[in-house]
Amino acid sequence: MTSLELRNISATSKTGAKLRNISLKVEEGDYIVLLGPTGSGPTEVLQVIAGLLKVDSGEILLNGREITDLPPEDRNVSMVFEQFNLFPHMSVLDNLLYSARVRREDIAQKEKVAEEIISMVRLDGREDAISRELSGGMQQRVGVARAVVASSEILLLDQPYRALDAKIRAELRMEVRNIVKGLNLSCVHSTHETEEAMLVADKVAIFKDGHLEQFGTPEEIFDNPATAFVASFLAESNNWDVREMGEKVRISEQVALDYDRENYSGDYSKVIIRQHAIDLFFDEDPPEGWSSYEGTITKIRLLGESIRITVRVGDVDFIVRELINPNLRTVDRLEGQRVVLGFPVEEVRLY
């Protein structure tokens, strides 16, 4: 059984990025994604696990054995970097067997394992190809295969698809997840891409300024974000300061919002309504029980499959994001039109 645990880890990188009291547990077969803005902590956590960043305090346990002060070569973890880091003069097979040769392991046995992994990552027939003869996606699969052949207990992926174009990135991230799951490996993967994290992770850890903001399944953190930062990071949101709390929560001189008073008591400083949670109503009324406000459409932006609409309500702008539908196709005619916007009361989130 392979498990990894970080206990109250604090560390400072050479760039000045800090980790502050991070505790995190990876169970056998978990695919964990560390998500956050650049410099917020995900890459630094991987470096700590790999032994590339010395901790200031805390413990790292691998299968119950403390590895906090062990050098990287003694930790039995493999890290796949954004840049692939393949040996350019070596073939695919030689890249996979490099670690075994350095460790003086049984090459014949490792070669059998390597051939199986090559087939699994769909590189059959390319065993003798050198790096420059492979596409970016193929090189990344070689990087993952090399880590697997090294028989590491934990696979670490540091922004592994950042250097790839969008189409290859979309295809490869699910391929790699399937490989990891098929081999029952434990994996920790860092990224700045929300969609990537939500798509491949069993659990997501969200970081801000070196702090772990929330850890849970994609569904848990999306439906119940613990902080204003998590709510806004996972979905485009309307954010306002609270000006006054009472029967309603006031966000401006002219606009006060209904909220679920049973679930909120005390003082709050921020109001968030996610853009996708707001609907527009042109010829019909909002569903019973929804909050609704009349306003004027002031701006429209097409964003591929969706459309972002700014609606002025009193002295406040509401941003609404909707999928393109027939009612919104003639967008040039909508600016200046009066409209009713509505949303369920529970979508008003206070922090």
pLDDT of the residue at 151: 62
Same domain, 346 and 242: yes
Same domain, 262 and 325: yes
Predicted confidence pLDDT, tens digits, the chain (351 residues): 679 999 999 999 998 889 999 999 999 999 999 999 999 999 999 999 999 999 999 999 999 999 999 999 899 888 887 666 788 889 999 988 888 888 788 888 888 888 888 887 788 899 999 988 888 778 878 877 887 787 677 889 998 887 677 777 787 788 889 888 887 889 999 999 999 999 999 999 999 999 999 999 999 999 999 999 999 999 999 999 999 999 999 999 999 999 999 999 888 999 999 999 999 998 889 999 999 999 999 999 888 778 899 999 999 999 999 877 655 555 567 889 999 999 999 999 999
Same domain, 114 and 242: no
pTM of the model: 0.86
Cα angle 157, 161, 162; round to 5: 110
Same domain, 88 and 141: yes
Under 8 Å between Cβ of 158 and 79? yes
Q: What is the CATH number of the domain that holds 29?
A: 3.40.50.300
**Structural domain range at position 84:** 4-230
Question: Which of 230, 253, 273 corresponds to the end of one domain?
Answer: 230
Same domain, 207 and 301: no
pLDDT of the residue at 236: 95
Cite the DSSP H helix spans in the chain. 42-50, 92-102, 107-120, 136-149, 166-182, 194-200, 218-223, 228-234
Same domain, 262 and 244: yes
CA distance 245 to 256: 9
Same domain, 148 and 67: yes
Same domain, 97 and 246: no
Question: Which of 230, 250, 280 corresponds to the end of one domain?
Answer: 230
Same domain, 149 and 247: no
Same domain, 142 and 283: no
Same domain, 134 and 221: yes
Same domain, 345 and 256: yes
Q: What is the CATH number of the domain that holds 285?
A: 2.40.50.100
Question: Which of 230, 259, 289 corresponds to the end of one domain?
Answer: 230
* Number of structural domains found in the chain: 2
